[in-house]
Amino acid sequence: MKILVCISHVPDTTSKINFTNGDAEFDTNGVQFVINPNDEFGLTRAIWFQEQQGANVTVVNVGGADTEPTLRKALAIGANEAIRVNAQPTDGFAVAKQLADVIKNGGFDLIIAGKESLDYNGGMVPGMIAGILGYNFVNGAIGLTVEGNNAKVIREIDGGKETVATSLPLIIGGQKGLVEEKDLRIPNMRGIMTARTKALNIVEPAAANAETKAVKFEKPAPKSAVKLFSADDIDGLVNALHNEAKVI
């Protein structure tokens, strides 16, 4: 089984976020980038298939040379090889077109992507890839097993879970729960050294036009100051809740 894991290169959630060019562009200065958490769950599940069923695992990213450390981390975790599509991820449709081209040329049986990236939260790429290629697609996956050409996917729905039976080739949008958090892999020294010798192939992008453009970003309003009351000032607390917060 050939598995392709789509990897997004996203800011660490502890990074301080700023924008430039009139709040139209993300400021990358001083930002630490990591594997998108939803993608990391998918990568770990793919490595399980590699260890248990002999699957070959390739990771792919659409981005510039600055994304290669993230791909190298995925190789250190256990992926067999990596592909970087040499194009800037301008929007979800353009990224989906690039990934669909890689999938079509690579003959992959199972494509695992995160249901969304934690930077733009578009949640559109896996479904778009499936639409372009005509592959089966299950989103919000929190469980996945494969036997031969058949797959069983557990997906999260409002108020519960749904189990779906389908066949390969298959694209899933994975999320937390696809593996347990305790099972996520941390690269060890051997993995890091081995990753240096694994193939990281750079491919030129296919023709694709962006269908959307970010015009402006806006950060949430800062939280207002906290007002404290002493334990015996019940009247003051009630007055503030009534006249200032207006919640009673």
The confidence band for 136, taking pLDDT boundaries of 50, 70 and 90, is very high
What pLDDT does residue 131 have? 96
Q: pTM here? A: 0.87
For residue 120, pLDDT beyond 90 = no
DSSP conformation class of 129: H
CB 10 within 8 A of CB 65: no
The span from the CA of 93 to the CA of 137, in Å, is: 16
**What's residue 201's pLDDT?**
96
Beta-carbon contacts of 153 under 8 Å, excluding residues fewer than 6 positions away, are 138, 141, 143, 144, 163, 164, 166, 170, 172
* Mean pLDDT, residues 135-158: 96
* 27 exposure class (CB count in 10 Å sphere: 0-12, 13-18, 19+): middle
**Which pLDDT does position 227 carry in this prediction?**
87
Q: Are 141 and 174 in contact (CB under 8 A)?
A: yes
pLDDT band at 13 (very low <50, low <70, confident <90, very high): confident
Residue 205: predicted pLDDT? 94
Strand partners, 162: 155
- pLDDT at residue 193 in the model: 93
126 alpha carbon, distance to own chain's centre: 10
Query: Per residue in 25-57, pLDDT tens?
Result: 889 888 999 999 999 999 999 999 999 999 999
Q: Which two tokens stand for residue 143?
A: 């469980």
Handedness of CA 43, 178, 35, 183 (dihedral sign): negative
- The pLDDT, as a whole number, for residue 52 is 95
**Domains (ranges, CATH) in the chain?**
2-220 (3.40.50.620)
Phi and psi for 46 in degrees, rounded to 5?
-65, -40
Quote the pLDDT of residue 248.
Answer: 84
The pLDDT of residue 223 is: 83
Which of these, 40, 42, 11, lies nearest to 28 by C-alpha position? 11
